[in-house]
Amino acid sequence: MTQNAAPTLETKMPANKTAFWFWLGAGVLFTVTSFLSLWLNGPKEFSLLWPGNGLLLGLLLLSSKRRWTALFALNFLSSFFLHWYFHFTLYQSVIFSVGNLIEVAIAIFPLRKINPKQANLTQTEQLIPFVSMSLFAPAISGAFVIALSGGFLPQVSELIFYRAWWVGDGLGLLMMAPLVLMTVRRETLRHFHLKQLPFTLLILAFASTPNLLLSSPQRIPLLFLDFPILVFVTFRLGLFGAAASALLMDIPLTHFAMDASGMFGANAFHDKVTRLLILQAYLLVQLVMAYLIATTLTRQQQLREQLRKSEERYRTLADNSWDVILQMDAEGRCTYISPSLEDSLGHKPEDLIHQLACTLVHPEDKPIADSMMDALRAGTERQRVEIRMEHQDGGYRWMELKCRSVRDKHSGETKEVVAVARDVTSRVMRDMELTAAVQHAENLALTDELTGLGNRRGFEETLERLWNASVEDGEMMAVLMIDADNFKDFNDTHGHMAGDESLRRLGRLIAQCIRRPTDYAARYGGEEFAVILPKSDLHMAEAIAERIRFSIANSGILLQGKRTIPTTVSIGISGRIATKERSPREVIRSADAALYDAKRAGKNCIRTRP
């Protein structure tokens, strides 16, 4: 009773080699089932059930549509010749056989689009139309036969005959079609493996035992044992077991009904027609109950399987994630921690279950963690923090926590928090080193005395550090080379003191135009300046360069507080992704070449080289 696709008859039997045996087997099954139904009830007496139509319906559901016409024809021929053999007239045999085909055609109509590999009557969406049509189709075919019968069975009334046809054919459809479908399914075949076969046969034999004991009317109460037994068999063997056990239970009851013996020996059952109708109704109730149980069990098993797969899928994601996944209640106690905690912090997850997650947080960072939990409880859906958490070795690791609150659908209150924690120690340490590198350059007085910017030594040292940090992150770095236009003429005309004031003014303007803490400006030499822009592409570098050029061009140099001398600069830009194979010197050379391009272009402009 699983959702595994049923093998089709084509997959079981390759067309080139076994088509003959398929058609021969189908013909024999049609003939044997129809013969037994007619023979057990005697010539020209209605059958307790007619399994041939259920057999045809089951084969149709398992076969591709290109075989349907041949199966209908084969069923018609076997039914026709058997009715003729049992002394029905040629006209009567045709009417009965055509009625059977009409019945199966009506029953298969709502199921015609089912893929043969997915035919499974334990699924509600297939079982409901199957049961409905199994009860509706015999009503239509029975009306057709009665309308054209001309009194086939003069010993019974048309009403009794119609009722017997309707119930008997309905039972045949309800019993045989599931048996045929389930016979080729893996879960059914599993019950007939060598190790399971004795247990399966014992259960099926046990199913018919109470009915074998109904040898006198006084033992009728034993009949009520059929229902709990049927429930037990359905639980153990599924829909196949339900249909098979119902058939086995019916065998001794049919014998008693035909001989007016056993439970049918009472005077109330003196009429054979009455006995068979009661038996049909009883068997119908059994089948409907068994199918309802089987469908419910299948649905429960499908839900369990879906739940198992869902849990397995999410457990696989959680257990194999490099990040640490935590599930906490509203108070911050851990209810689940993924195994990656041991890789990140050295602690075993089971040691921290039901403990407060802040147990591992650095004392200085606990206010941050508490504030985060307060915000999540207060209504904030998501929070992100970077805090230090204790490693088993006694040290601390920087962890980035991305948390999300899960709220109760009815009250809206936070019932749990799901967090993903990632070790970002390397990145945080690199950022600290980057900041420290800039600070180190300043602390060592690697500055130009005249402008207050970094000097060439500081520039080269900082460039090396920033380049290595960019290599770690795989990011781009840009460099600006800035040169004062016509500075020699300015110096010769206005003197060295004015030249120095001009350089100081340029340094202040450049420093004002770079705003990020990691950006670095230096006096490269003489009237030439350089700017390092880590984590910047050429577009960002060009924007900053234009800001510097515009600011200087619109400021000028104030001499002795009396007049302003216009000043301009030319800027060369180069930027590349930092790699171990490249040298930052390549960027300097490229930016310097771009600077000369700007000079040749008329000065007071910007040029870029990659």
Q: What's the pLDDT tens digit per position in 394-405?
A: 899 999 999 998
On whether the CB atoms of residues 27 and 79 are closer than 8 A, the answer is no
- What sign results for the dihedral spanned by CA atoms 108, 111, 117, 118? negative
Answer whether 386's CB lies under 8 Å from 400's CB.
yes
CATH code at position 582? 3.30.70.270
pLDDT band at 543 (very low <50, low <70, confident <90, very high): very high
Query: What mean pLDDT is predicted for residues 224-231?
Result: 80
Whether the predicted pLDDT of 2 surpasses 60:
no
Please state the domain count of the chain.
Answer: 4
The two structure tokens encoding residue 105: 């055609």
Pair 38, 149 in one domain: yes
Last residue of a domain, one of 153, 184, 215: 184
- Provide the pLDDT for residue 267: 63
Please give, one letter per residue, the 3-state secondary structure of 89-125.
CHHHHHHHHHHHHHHHHHHHHHHCCCCHHHCCCCCHH
> Same domain for 153 and 28?
yes
- Dihedral pair phi/psi, residue 518, rounded to 5°: -85, -15
Summarize pLDDT for 590-602 with one digit per residue, the tens: 999 999 999 999 9
Indicate if 226 and 332 belong to the same structural domain: no
Asked if 287 contacts 174 with a C-beta cutoff of 8 angstroms, the reply is: yes
User: What confidence score (pLDDT) does residue 17 get?
Assistant: 55
63 and 154 inside one domain: yes
Residue 508 and residue 442 share a domain: yes
Residue 181: pLDDT over 50: yes
Looking at the structure, do residues 371 and 436 belong to the same domain, yes or no? Answer: no
Q: End of a domain among 137, 161, 184?
A: 184
Q: Which segments of 150-269 does DSSP mark as H helices, in order?
A: 158-183, 186-189, 197-212, 226-259
**pLDDT digits over 84-126, tens only?**
888 788 888 899 899 999 999 999 988 888 777 777 776 777 8
Work out the mean pLDDT of the chain and round it to a whole number: 82
pTM: 0.49
Is residue 526 predicted with pLDDT exceeding 80?
yes
Q: Give the alpha-carbon dihedral of 339, 342, 348, 353, to 10 degrees.
A: -60
Q: What is the pLDDT of residue 11?
A: 47
**At a CB cut-off of 8 Å and minimum separation 6, what does 410 contact?**
none
Which residue range is the domain that position 301 belongs to? 190-320
Distance from C-alpha of 10 to C-alpha of 18, rounded to nearest angstrom: 9
Q: Which two tokens stand for residue 183?
A: 């016979």
> CB burial class (10 A; 0-12, 13-18, 19+) of residue 549?
buried
The verdict on 179 and 204 lying in the same domain is no
Domain identity same for 302 and 333: no
d(CA 387, CA 460): 34
pLDDT reading at 295 higher than 80: no
Question: Tens digits of per-residue pLDDT, 372-391?
Answer: 888 888 888 889 999 999 99
Rounded distance between C-alpha atoms, residue 533 and residue 482, angstroms: 14
Q: Which two tokens stand for residue 457?
A: 């030594």
Look at residue 206 in the predicted model and tell me its pLDDT: 82
The overall longest dimension of the chain from CA atoms, in Å, is: 141
Using pLDDT thresholds of 50, 70 and 90, give the confidence band for residue 441. Answer: low
Q: How confident is the model at residue 150 (pLDDT cuts 50, 70, 90)?
A: low
Instruction: Give residue 41's pLDDT.
Output: 60
Verify that 261 and 312 share a domain, yes or no.
yes
* Mean pLDDT on 145-166: 74
Mean pLDDT value of segment 211-236: 76
Q: How far is CA 77 from the centre of its chain?
A: 50
Residue 8 has φ and ψ, to the nearest 5°, of: -80, 170
Query: Which of the pair, 61 or 156, is modelled with greater confidence?
Result: 61
pLDDT of residue 542: 94
Residue type, 424: V
> What is the Cα–Cα distance from 99 to 165, expressed in whole angstroms?
11
Residues 6+ apart with CB under 8 A from 533: 477, 478, 479, 480, 514, 519, 540, 541, 544, 575
Q: Do 91 and 161 fall into the same domain?
A: yes
**Is the pLDDT confidence value at 163 over 70?**
yes
The last residue of one of the domains, among 272, 304, 320, is 320
Q: DSSP string covering 405-444, please? A: EEE-TTT--EEEEEEEEEE-HHHHHHHHHHHHHHHHHHHT
Residue 88 is predicted with a pLDDT of 80
Confidence of residue 233 (pLDDT cuts 50, 70, 90): confident
The winner for highest mean pLDDT among 84-93, 331-340, 404-413, 587-596 is: 587-596
Q: Angle 28-32-36 (CA atoms, 0-180°, nearest 5)?
A: 175
d(CA 29, CA 26): 5
Residue 393 sits in a domain whose CATH number is: 3.30.450.20
Q: Give residue 443's pLDDT band: very low, low, confident or very high (50, 70, 90).
A: low
The pLDDT of residue 240 is: 76
pLDDT greater than 90 at residue 546: yes
Position 477 confidence tier, pLDDT thresholds 50, 70, 90? very high
- pLDDT for residue 431 is more than 70: yes
Return the pLDDT at 264: 67
Residue 471: strand, helix, or coil:
helix
Residue 45 pLDDT class (50, 70, 90 cuts)? low
Interatomic CA distance for residues 419 and 382, integer angstroms: 10
- 443 and 540 in a single domain? The answer is yes
Write the pLDDT tens digit of every residue in 317-331. 666 777 888 889 888
Active site residues: 527
% of residues, the chain, pLDDT over 90: 21
> CA–CA separation, 475 vs 469, rounded Å?
9
Closest CA to 483 of 304, 605, 346: 605
Considering the domain architecture, whether residues 575 and 459 belong to the same structural domain is answered as: yes
Q: Is residue 445 over pLDDT 70?
A: no
Across the range 253-268, mean pLDDT stands at 70
158-183 and 90-108 helices, crossing angle to 10°: 50
